[in-house]
Structure 1
Amino acid sequence: MYRINMAVLLVLGLLLVTAKQSTQMSLRNPSAEIESSNCKLATLRVGLVLASDNNEKALLDSGLFTPDSDNPYADHVGRRFNIGKLGSTPIVYVKTGTFSVNVATGVQTLLNKFTISEIVFFGNAGSLNKTYVPGTVLVPEAVAFTGVWEWKEFRAQNKGQLAFGHFSYPDMNGENTLGTVAYDNITLYSPTEDPDEVFWLPVPLPEEAATVKLTKGLKFKECHSGRCQTEFETFYGSKASTSDFYLKNEAYGEFLVDKV
């Protein structure tokens, strides 16, 4: 798989902030502690959600984050919410890990306890397009969750998108008793419409001027794998996928590009 490790920012418009010191949330009723306090910090901030310690290290090593001098952090339901500014923008960031349930409870706490203007997810990503290099700005129009599979029986009438027989060697179009795999849809909820089952989750594209303003004048300090790029390039309208597991396989990567 043509894969380039990079840090990616996925920006989704939402709402912001506050917190109080507490212990780990209850496993029996995890939402109770989240909803137990009505106290919110009044300052409107951007919420930054980090997936790992490496993400936090990259943020701190950049020198762009300045902790708040009066209230640098707040502890709530087992998480630490770090308060400060990214450049001149007020932010609060939290590490949630990568599992969906941890991310969901972390983001819900962020929204309940702080006044949030938008949420930025900062995590690891890769590209199946070898023309992209670290620093390329990708603005996808849709995201699919490719981590939930429904395994179809061998020779089932309704086959899934991923047919293992297409990867059997030497007969690439032969049969394989592993059968096929179908991707499950996700439920798209809307405040104005009934829930809808979709495979591609649409992502509202920001105005091009906003992205240009964000990256204007930024320069790279280093090259990657012998390739150098002095300015940012922005690509709109691509598609992205996310999952709870990591799979590094060239054939599977080509399948995602060609079939999904």
Structure 2
Amino acid sequence: MTVQDLFFSLPLYQKIKLDKTHSELISDFFHYTYQIEGYNPSIGENTSFIIRRNRHFGTVTSNYEKYNGFHNIELVCVRTQELFKYFFILQSIEIEEDIYESSLVKIGQYPSLADLEFSKLNKFSKVIDKPSLHEIKKAVGLAANGVGIGSYVYLRRVFENLIESKHQKSKILQGWDEAAYQAARMDDKILILKDHLPTILVSHRSIYGIVSKGIHELSENECLAYFQVLLDAIVMMLEEEFKLKEEEKRLADMKANLAKIHQDLKKS
């Protein structure tokens, strides 16, 4: 996890139990002075932000209890000067003398995670049906509020539907083995469809075997952890479809313009 993840990916109320492995993350979170990158929905693209804190700590330390308490942090967009507001609590509890258990929780933000994601997802309305786009947004909204299982159910269905759409296009091709496909696990299905899916999705296909797990096997936190992986996979597939549509449109426009030029030349 990075500082950018804390602001732009971490759902509300998802507790991060801090240990020694988080020392660099927490040091950056409370002391990092350079610009970070993130999505600004008002301009529809990634841009740079400056971190502005309400509390300042002089020296960097790995003792998390130093940062105990409420933290109101603002991100200032360098292009628009808009303020993104975030509210965190770092809680350190002394369980034994000089031994603390610490955790970090994001308890509020504006714009919300859902606002950030919805703006990015709207462009895919040209390449996905309305019910599926609605389900993605529903999933994002639930995950942004820390609802793991419910968000995962929606997103898993969309992911499976997108894979199935690739299957439907592939099974009419010569040499297709439908029996082998139907018997395959999710990660193997992705491999079978490799020519029709993003390369990075195919390379990391073993991760998506989790899609086949029953909901009763997964905890809320596991669902939230797998949620981002599934969302990224869905966005990659939609991005590929979107680019293909854009290329087809540009090609059609070019052909129309060439035809018009030929007609104009004939008239002259």
TM-score, with structure 2 as normaliser: 0.29
More helix by percentage: 2
Q: Based on CA coordinates, which of the two structures has the bigger radius of gyration?
A: 2
TM-score normalised by the chain length of structure 1: 0.29
Of Structure 1 and Structure 2, which has the larger fraction of its residues in strand? 1
Higher relative contact order (CA 8 A, sep 6+): 1
